[in-house]
Structure 1
């Protein structure tokens, strides 16, 4: 704004009145609830900050609980299946051992070797 306009007769008073009105305006708006104070804004910002800070801990707790629950479900579903499979494999192993003993005995008879019990396994035969 030019200097001559500010100092022109009648104009300076209007400018000064407008300045005073603007200075008082924010306080009136805050008092009437039209705008928020700095303290109010800080308080409003603090709650979301606390909530954001708590999110990683909450996420970790939920993740751990989910892992436990899935583990329990897998144990319940898979546990019976694994037990049945173990029993089947154990039965098959015992059957194969009996068949092996019978074949070793038959082989010994065919070779003319007297029955001296089952043949000893080779070094690389686990039994």
Structure 2
């Protein structure tokens, strides 16, 4: 029995140690975020510390995070404060380089667009007027041939419709005649008996 109690005591001690390490990591994450001037949120602290989100709402950790958030709201962020001269000079240089690159890319785009327009114009010129007229004539003849086929097919369709109507009339007449024959056959045997 005492062996069982010792093993559970050891498990409880290990859990407490693990829990305390996680709390320390969460508190260290709050401190790191605050020092870096990054926005502090409960989710950010949990992600940075590698702990579950419920731990950052636990007593002791929650209050520390809330206090750091309050300090951030009342203290200007490093981005809003005046940058050191060296950092602002670096940013100005980066901005000037970016603007120069944008200007160069715009000029390159305009040159490529003008080149494409010239190439398309040259292609249209090489087609020539004679080729265009010849192609239009081919398309016109093809269109006239198709219209003739449409007229022929329409006439054939009309003839077939008339034939179908005649056949339907013949079928109806045959059915009527068959009914009369069947009736007369049924009447004659009863008349003989």
TM-score, with length taken from structure 2: 0.32
TM-score, with length taken from structure 1: 0.44
